[in-house]
């Protein structure tokens, strides 16, 4: 017999690299990006459910973007905030639309 725990997840849309979502895990859709090859995009999530020392992991997927190669470069957690840095690791193509950043946080 397996037991699965489900916590409330949420979604939000970022504006100017910032979003608010008070959930232990969720999905944030970015604004339309044009991040150049090698460039970075910083997403700051205000989240009252996280604390300094929590373990947060993130992944990134295409939203409407069809070019570029988004990659999670860093996740930094502090009290009430998650900062996720996405780098476009494509050699020449810029991002040309939205991306979706998924995250999950585990408390101590």
Written as tens digits, the pLDDT of the chain (108 aa) is 444 444 557 999 999 999 999 999 999 999 999 999 999 999 999 999 999 999 999 999 999 999 999 999 999 999 999 999 999 999 999 999 999 999 999 987
Going from the N-terminus, what domains does the chain have, and what CATH number goes with each? 9-106 (2.60.40)
Q: Is the CB of residue 108 less than 8 Å from the CB of residue 54?
A: yes
Closest to 97 in 3D by CA, of 55, 64, 51, 69: 64
DSSP notation for 37-87: TT-EEEEEEE-TT--TT-EEEEEEEESS--SS-EEEEEEEEETTEEEEEEE
């Amino acid at each position: 017999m397996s037991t699965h725990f489900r916590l409330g997840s949420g979604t939000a849309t970022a504006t100017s690299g910032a979003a608010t979502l008070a959930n232990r895990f969720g999905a944030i859709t970015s604004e339309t990006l044009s991040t150049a090859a090698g460039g970075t995009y910083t997403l700051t999530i205000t989240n009252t459910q996280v604390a300094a020392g929590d373990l947060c992991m993130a992944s990134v997927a295409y939203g409407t973007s069809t070019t570029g190669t988004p990659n999670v470069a860093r996740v930094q957690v502090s009290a009430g905030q998650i900062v996720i840095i996405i780098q476009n690791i494509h050699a020449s193509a810029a991002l040309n639309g939205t991306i979706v950043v998924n995250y999950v946080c585990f408390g101590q």
